[in-house]
A and B are shown apart, each in its own frame.
Chain A
Amino acid sequence: MDRSSDSERARGGISSHQPEWGRVLHGRADQEIRIPEVAATAQVGLSLAGRSAAQLRPPIVSFVLVNWNYGRYIGATIDSILAQDYPHFECVILDNGSTDDSRVVIDRHVRGDRRFRVIHLPENLGQLGATLVALGEVKGGFVTFVDSDDLLFPDFASTHLQVHLSAPRSVAVTTSGVAEVDGAGVVLTSQYATIQLDRHGVAKGLRDASTVIRLSTISDEQFRTLHALTAVVPRWTKGWLWAPGTGNMIRRSVLEMVAFNDRNATYMRSADGHFLPLCHAFAGTALIDVPLSAYRIHGENYFVNRESLLGIPNGTPEYAAKSRRESYESVASILENARQNAWLLRESFWRVVDISTRVHSDDLKAYYGAPSGVEIFERHAATLREAVGDRAFIQNICARFGFRDARRIIAKGFGGRAPARLQLKIFRLCRNRKRMKALLH
């Protein structure tokens, strides 16, 4: 990003001045967003209760950058990763079969930095497909998927990590605000996609500063500001909570729990759409109402899925149909690992299955009853039955399907044919609407 021009600075509000955090954080309609210019440091220190915690090694952040023909923008994206004030990161760049000059641009900007690894895929596996490949390559405890046309502000990693390490409980995801910039990196509006802290049931604030691990890049004052602008959302909150594209940091251990078993398939869909709702349902999200990355509006955005081949405008019936088709894959990913998930989630297992559909509870039966819904449950019926036990299996299938489908799925669970004694039971359960409805979330 070129910050040399004064006129641009004045117009856009991206300033190379010292960070004015307080003002940035409270920046709303009339205030400019300033991006702190910080010299990259060799080391970030950790401390605990005012003492150096040199015996602990800083967390590793894994940036995963999936690129498809964004040679025009990816250079600036890479520069913004190199400019992080938190040096303990690795970055895997997956070039998803690009046909433009991406390869040259990537090499020029990475400049041989050993924290970067570039993988060129021979063909486009889709954003989620490429992300799954990348997931097998990273080792950090925390992962950020970076869109190759977005920019990170220098304190992105520091701030997200500080929240991960000081939220009242350890959560799966941290999400921060996003500033909108145009193709040249100039802020279009000082409004940014806001992170709504005032939600029902959120727990505001961080743990006491003297009892958490502190990063040397986050000052006392900044910690206090973060404390005021952070909230943890309970796992059951439905709806979209997260920053678009870049702007999230996810625990790798939780990502691994919800990743598909087949990591080498093509998944022409967004990684966010799969990972964020599921990781949240597993272990919650912390909201950070501070803009820490920038989202480019450049007239060529590929909407949510970011794949030009499948670029169907958001809001159209085609888009809705595509989202729905994709959501069955997410549900299937929970079911295929039912044994692990039923153990991890215990009594919340079925609730997470319902949340993974991303449809309203009134629409759940129609959703499950569609051919794709019946098919994935039939396919995983045996695994499911073994994971949750006969009683819970039968009840929860009857709660989600009509009699005919329930009978078929349960039969599959019992190896092809349900015991005769169950036929009447299934029939009765399916008819007991009130009781069955109580099992839906």
Chain B
Amino acid sequence: MAAPLVSFVVINYNYEDYLAEAIDSVLAQDYPNIECVVIDNASTDGSREVLARYEGVDARLSIRRFDRNLNQMGALLRILDDLRGRYLTIVDADDFIFPNYASQHVLAHEMAPRGLAFTSSCVVEVDGAGCVLTAGYDPFLSNVVQARLWDGEANAVEGVGATDRALLLEAIRLVDRDDPKWRWSPGTANMHDLSLVRATRPIGHAEAYVGATDNYFMWLNHAIAGSAQILTPLSAYRHHGRNRYGAMPSVAGLTIGTRSGVNRSAVRRRDITLALASRARAFQQLAPGRFWKLMDAPAAADGQPVELYFANPLVQKILIEHRAELLSLGAAEVERELAERMGRKAARRIARA
């Protein structure tokens, strides 16, 4: 089969020191069919000068300059409908990918028994100078799925050699969509099914949506279509002291991320509930019979019992606001399912308000 197009979106805000390395690493892919959109989120450092050097150098590259910082998710949403790829990787401008990133990820997608939401490869954590610190992100390493879940020959993909195919067959693990644990690397290490990202995108938020794309799409889309782990490191994650989420290499057993970063992420995950409740019929159609599993995804992410998540008044407020849309799934079903998650009284209050 022909090599499907991969869309890389490099999103930059004031990472002039690392931006060129990120772009170069995309353009150096050994995979034949990519496009690369670089977004500058109104940087105030020397990023513009860096980008000027890339003007017109490569037909696969386009540069978009925003006049204000839309943050990572906001920037992606702005250009999401302009992308032409079948797969999508959002590259943080302080990370970089290895030359076989695209070929391995595409192959993993193409050889899977059915369409996956995304594939997640192991990362190398490096310091500000690019020196290796770890050969894997701990939540990935400590949650590797043991059994290889399919054994078939990989489909041939144009431009991907037999050696790469053989390597991948050994190094890939399928994560079942009913398995709600974070078993992935962050951000850049993930290649998404672009049509699924389009279908599940958050709608109706402020244009400058503050929030990380992985914290939204990975929980939700995995619960819809499942994912895969690629055990070989295919990208680097840089700890340079200005990271938004965490600033230390991950090691066995220690909490990852700062207190404020983790709390921020937990708050933003309620946007998954908002998307589901406000577009219940669309999600029911997208993933027939799985609506309530999707509803549990943000709760599982916190590692807390679902009851605790649904007891949160802010979560209940979302459900009440979108009650009419929810009830279109059938009043009896909604009340029953909500009762399992928040008790009968609260469920009745929402379903019969």
Contact = CB atoms under 8 A, between A and B. Distances in A.
A96 interface: no
B186 to A, nearest CB: 15
Interface residues of B, number: 37
B138 A56 contact: no
A213 B254 contact: no
A48 interface: yes
Interface stretch (A6-14, A263-271, A321-329, A338-346): A338-346
B252 A283 contact: yes
A213 B252 contact: no
B131 A348 contact: no
Interface string B97-134: 01110000000000000000000001010110111111
B7 to A, nearest CB: 22
Contacts of B122: 211
A148 B127 CA distance: 29
A135 interface: no
Contacts of A253: 133, 248-249, 251
B135 A166 contact: yes
A346 to B, nearest CB: 6
B255 interface: yes
B131 A59 contact: yes
A251 interface: yes
Interface of B is mostly: mixed
A169 interface: yes
Contacts of A232: 252
Interface string A31-61: 0000000000000001011110101111110
Contacts of B99: 51, 55
B298 interface: no
B236 interface: yes
Contacts of A284: 251-253
Nearest to B239: A253
A259 B250 CA distance: 18
B252 A53 contact: no
Contacts of B195: none
Given A48-B98, A59-B132, A253-B249, A213 B126 contact: no
B132 A213 contact: yes
A283 B259 contact: no
A397 to B, nearest CB: 23
B255 A343 contact: yes
Contacts of A166: 135
A170 B170 contact: no
B25 interface: yes
Contacts of A283: 251-254
A168 B98 contact: no
A379 interface: no
Interface in A154-207: 164-166, 168-172, 207
B248 A169 contact: no
Contacts of A88: 131
B251 A348 contact: no
Which interface residue of B98, B130, B163 has the most chain A CB atoms within 10 A? B98
B210 interface: no
Contacts of A50: 163, 167
A365 interface: no
Contact of A210 (B142, B167, B252, B255): B167
A58 B233 CA distance: 15
A225 B248 CA distance: 31
Contacts of B129: 57
Interface core residue of B141, B142, B249, B251 (most chain A CB under 10 Å): B251
Given A57-B130, A169-B141, A169-B142, A212 B251 contact: no
A441 interface: no
Nearest to A346: B255
Given A49-B167, A282-B253, A58 B134 contact: no
A388 interface: no
B252 to A, nearest CB: 4
Which range holds the interface residue count of chain A? 35 or more
B98 A170 contact: no
Contacts of A311: none
B138 A208 contact: no
Contact of B132 (A165, A254, A345, A346): A165
Contact of A171 (B25, B126, B133, B251): B251
Contacts of A343: 255, 259
Contact of B251 (A58, A168, A213, A254): A254
Nearest to B97: A55
Contacts of A348: 253
B148 to A, nearest CB: 12
B170 A235 contact: no
Q: Which among A58, A164, A208, A253 has the greatest number of chain B C-beta atoms within 10 A?
A: A253
A53 B235 CA distance: 11
A58 B126 CA distance: 10
Interface string B34-56: 00000000000000000000000
Contact of A213 (B100, B135, B248, B249): B135
A141 interface: yes
A207 B134 CA distance: 13
B232 interface: yes
Interface in A195-239: 207-208, 210-213, 232, 235
A58 B131 contact: yes
A52 B148 CA distance: 27
Nearest to B230: A211
Contacts of A56: 124, 126, 130, 132, 236
Most chain B CB within 10 A, of A49, A172, A284, A346, is at A49
Given A60-B131, A141-B127, A211-B232, A172 B170 contact: no
B131 A141 contact: yes
B231 interface: yes
A141 B124 CA distance: 13
A57 B253 contact: no
Nearest to B140: A169
B231 A46 contact: no
B230 to A, nearest CB: 9
Given A170-B250, A171-B252, 12 more contacts: A48-B98, A57-B132, A165-B135, A169-B138, A172-B251, A210-B171, A210-B232, A211-B231, A211-B233, A213-B124, A251-B249, A343-B259
14 contacts: A51-B100, A53-B98, A55-B98, A55-B236, A56-B124, A57-B130, A165-B135, A166-B135, A169-B136, A170-B135, A211-B231, A213-B135, A282-B254, A283-B251
- Kindly list the 6 A-B residue pairs having the minimum CB-CB distance in the complex, ordered from nearest: A283-B251, A169-B252, A170-B134, A211-B231, A165-B135, A57-B130
